[in-house]
Amino acid sequence: MDFLQLIYSVGAFVVAIGILVTVHEFGHYYVARKAGVRVLRFSVGFGKPLWMRRAGPDKTEYVVAAIPLGGYVKMLDEREGEVDPQELHRAFNRQTVAKRFAIVSAGPMFNFLFAVVAYSLMYVNGVSGIKPYIGAIEPGGVAQTAGARDRDLVLSVNGVITPSWEKARLHMLDRAVDGEPLRLEVQGDDLMLRQLLLDIGDRSVLQDDQIDILQILGFDVWRPRIPPLIEEVMPGGAAEAAGVLAGDEVVALDGVRIEGVRQWVDLVRANPGKILTLEVERGGQPVELQITPREQFDDGQRIGVIGVRNLVVVPPEVRDELSVVEQYGLLSAVGEGVNKTAQMSWLTLKVLGKLLIGEASLKNLSGPITIAKYAGLSAQIGLEQFFSFLAIISISLGVLNLLPIPMLDGGHLMYYLVEIIKGSPVSAAVEDAGQRVGMALLLLLMSIALYNDFLRLVE
308 within domain boundaries = yes
285 and 174, same structural domain?
no
Domain boundary among 283, 313, 343: 313
214 and 280, same structural domain?
no
320 and 189, same structural domain?
yes
321 and 193, same structural domain?
yes
d(CA 221, CA 151): 9
319 and 199, same structural domain?
yes
Bridge partner list, 276: 291
43 within domain boundaries = no
Residue among 111, 158, 113, 155 at smallest CA distance from 131: 155
164 within domain boundaries = yes
320 and 174, same structural domain?
yes
- Whether 449 has a pLDDT exceeding 70, the answer reads no
- Whether 358 has a pLDDT exceeding 90, the answer reads no
d(CA 150, CA 138): 11
> Average pLDDT in the 226-241 region?
89
Q: What residues contact 228, with CB distance under 8 A and at least 6 apart?
A: 249, 250, 258, 260, 261, 264, 310, 311, 312
303 and 173, same structural domain?
no
d(CA 141, CA 219): 8
Reported as a pLDDT band with limits 50, 70 and 90, residue 337 is very high
d(CA 256, CA 277): 10
417 within domain boundaries = no
Active-site entry in 25, 249, 279, 336 = 25
Chain segment 72-114, per-residue pLDDT in tens: 999 999 988 888 999 999 999 999 999 999 999 999 999 999 9
Chain segment 360-397, per-residue pLDDT in tens: 666 666 656 566 665 666 666 677 888 888 999 999 99
Domain boundary among 276, 303, 325: 325
199 and 263, same structural domain?
no
Question: For the chain, how many structural domains are there in total?
Answer: 2
- Whether 313 has a pLDDT exceeding 80, the answer reads no
170 within domain boundaries = yes
Q: What is the pTM of this model?
A: 0.81
321 and 200, same structural domain?
yes
Percent of the chain exceeding pLDDT 90 equals: 51
> Average pLDDT in the 153-168 region?
93
Residue among 92, 94, 56, 86 at smallest CA distance from 72: 92
Q: Confirm if 402 and 346 have CB atoms less than 8 A apart.
A: no
For residue 450, count CB atoms less than 10 angstroms from its CB and return exposed for 0-12, middle for 13-18, buried for 19 or more: middle
Task: Give the DSSP per-residue string, 45-105.
Answer: EEEEEEEEEEETTTTEEEEEEEEEEEEEEEE--GGGS---GGGGGG-GGGS-HHHHHHHHH
* Predicted pLDDT at 226: 77
Of 265-274, 324-333, 403-412, 445-454, the least confident: 445-454
Of 9-13, 90-94, 128-132, 282-286, the least confident: 9-13
Chain segment 35-66, per-residue pLDDT in tens: 999 999 999 998 899 999 999 899 999 999 98
191 and 293, same structural domain?
no
* Predicted pLDDT at 311: 76
157 within domain boundaries = yes
Q: Does 25 participate in catalysis according to the annotation?
A: yes
Domain boundary among 284, 304, 325: 325
Rg over CA atoms, the chain: 27
83 within domain boundaries = no
Range of the domain at 211: 128-221+315-325
* Predicted pLDDT at 371: 60
State the SS3 of 194-234: EEEEECCCCCCCCCCCCCCHHHHHCEEECCCCCCCEEEEEC
134 and 174, same structural domain?
yes
* Predicted pLDDT at 339: 94
- What CATH number is attached to the domain comprising 144? 2.30.42.10
20 within domain boundaries = no
Q: Confirm if 422 and 451 have CB atoms less than 8 A apart.
A: no
Chain segment 176-223, per-residue pLDDT in tens: 888 889 999 999 988 999 999 998 876 666 666 566 788 888 898 888
320 and 173, same structural domain?
yes
